[in-house]
């Protein structure tokens, strides 16, 4: 069964450093999403992406965040200058056009020191 993959599984970084989280969505999916989950909190939406542009973003997704689809398979989330409060699990998800069901990757656990 096809699945969403994410790398790395864990990332530890120093405050102020840039990080790039990578995702490979399911191959025939056209909509891509990033969510985050701070430890003990609910899953929160960050951004959605379709047709090579952002379709929707939340208040969390400020100027420190960016997304890119650099090639036909990868979908990346970049945090330019990490803060302590960026420590969280980051999930990538994808979906088929016209279907609300989203499939999640295993996540990247980001720890900012």
Pairing between strand 10-13 and 108-112? parallel
Residues that bind other proteins (CB under 8 A): 31, 33, 35, 41-45, 48, 50, 55-56, 58, 89, 91, 93, 95, 97-107, 109
Name the minimum Å distance from CB 90 to other proteins.
10
- The CB-of-26 to other proteins minimum distance in angstroms stands at 13
Least distance CB 7 / other proteins (angstroms): 14
Comparing CB distances to other proteins, the nearer of 82 and 108 is 108
Nearer to other proteins, 4 or 19 (CB): 4
102 vs 99: CA distance, rounded Å = 8
Q: How far is CA 20 from CA 2, 7, 54, 79, 96, in A?
A: 23, 9, 17, 7, 25
Distance CA 100, CA 102 (A): 6
Nearest residue (CB) to other proteins, 18 versus 48: 48
Query: Which lies closer to other proteins via its Cβ, residue 2 or residue 16?
Result: 2
């Amino acid at each position: 069964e096809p699945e969403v993959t994410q790398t790395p599984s864990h990332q530890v970084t120093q405050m102020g450093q840039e990080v790039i989280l990578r995702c490979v969505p399911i191959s025939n999916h056209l909509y891509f999403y990033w969510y985050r989950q701070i430890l003990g909190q609910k899953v929160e939406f960050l951004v959605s992406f379709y047709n090579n542009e952002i379709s929707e973003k939340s208040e969390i997704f400020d100027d420190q965040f960016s997304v890119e689809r650099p090639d036909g398979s990868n979908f990346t989330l970049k945090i330019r200058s990490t803060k302590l409060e960026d420590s969280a699990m980051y999930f990538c998800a994808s979906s088929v056009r016209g279907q609300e069901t989203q499939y999640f990757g295993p996540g990247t656990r980001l720890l900012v020191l």
